[in-house]
Structure 1
Amino acid sequence: MYRSFFPRDVFAEMDRLQREMQQAYDLSPTIRGFARNGFPALNVGSTPKAIEIYAFAPGVDPATLEVHLERGVLTIAGERKTPLSSADAKSTIHINERFDGKFHRVLTLPEDADPEAIEARLRDGVLHVSVQRRASSQPRRITIQ
């Protein structure tokens, strides 16, 4: 009945707008305190030897992904296109809850992150970025003579 008044799902549009506003004002989050509900969703953890970042980006073409590390700031950017967004003009979209479009996430890494030792892999929609810690910051055992 109300579908004639609202050709798209109003609540999905409001949710999409809120996500875009949060991403627009997301200012350089740190490794421990980054904003929630951004795309792609991130899991960040660390070991004594590395910082591990997992970005969950299903449906993202690997050719559109860009990973940059500059001055301790890691940036993940790309674009996701859904089949509905490229459908012909005759089709009507009733509900579109999946994010599509350009995105970027920014993460400030700790000072001991080594910009020369970074590795990124994409598999099954999960981007895994591993940043090694500098050798000088590694724990080591000192022998007593």
Structure 2
Amino acid sequence: MSDLYFASDLFGELDRLQRQMSSLFGGFPSSIRSSRYGAFPGINIGTTDDSIEIVAFAPGIDPATLDISIDKGLLTISGVRASPQPEAGDNVRRYAQERFSGNFRRAVELPQYADPDKVQARYADGCLLISVGKREASKPRAITVQ
């Protein structure tokens, strides 16, 4: 058995390789359920016995500018994220810009058991929290044996 020696940090090398692969493939999604690289807002989706819980990470957005709709099983979140810095002009030269600003739209396909009449949304601490209720027929229930 031979000993391997890496002159640098192994995890650093793996990170570099991942960045190179991402740039090579232009940020294609890693799976069919993935969204495009850098999609805004980032979201987490989970479920409870009674609802589907969606958290959209949208710091710095005025909740009054958000538009949430459900149509044919598709939940859509759209709005505008203003830029906190002055626009590029004669006096401002940008060297890098990583923070997204402008119009955005994000769509999530809901499962068939989602009830579009039972939707609640609130904005807290930079997160848009959306709860979509489940239809009664899809909720777990105990069955007694006779």
TM-score normalised by structure 1 residue count? 0.71
8 Å contact from structure 1 (residues 84, 93) kept in 2: no
Q: CA deviation at 1:85?
A: 4.3
1:29-88 residue CA offsets vs partner (Å, 9 max, x unmatched): xxx924143100010111221111010011111121011011110000011012214588
8 Å contact from structure 2 (residues 115, 134) kept in 1: yes
Structure 1 residues 85, 68: closer, same or farther in 2, change over 3 A?
A: farther
Q: List structure 1 segments (4+ residues) > 4 angstroms apart after TM superposition.
A: 85-89
Higher relative contact order (CA 8 A, sep 6+): 1
Aligned twin of 2:10: none
| Percent identity (aligned) | 44
8 Å contact from structure 2 (residues 78, 106) kept in 1: yes
Range 70-79 or range 134-143, more displaced = 134-143
8 Å contact from structure 2 (residues 120, 132) kept in 1: yes
Q: d(CA) in 2 for partners of 1:89 and 1:117?
A: 51
Aligned twin of 2:122: 121
Q: d(CA) in 2 for partners of 1:69 and 1:56?
A: 19
Aligned twin of 1:104: 105
Letter in 2 for 1:33: R
**Larger of the two Rg values belongs to structure:** 2
Q: d(CA) in 1 for partners of 2:96 and 2:103?
A: 20
Aligned twin of 1:135: 136
1:98-129 residue CA offsets vs partner (Å, 9 max, x unmatched): 10000000111000000110111111110010
8 Å contact from structure 1 (residues 81, 100) kept in 2: yes
Q: CA deviation at 1:93?
A: 3.1
Measured on the aligned residues, the alpha-carbon RMSD in Å equals 2.6
Aligned twin of 2:75: 74
Aligned twin of 1:40: 41
Does the residue aligned with 1:63 lie in a helix, a strand or coil? helix
Q: d(CA) in 2 for partners of 1:91 and 1:34?
A: 36
Does the residue aligned with 2:35 lie in a helix, a strand or coil? coil
8 Å contact from structure 1 (residues 59, 82) kept in 2: no
Letter in 1 for 2:33: G
Gaps of 5+ in 1: 1-14, 27-31
TM-score normalised by structure 2 residue count? 0.71
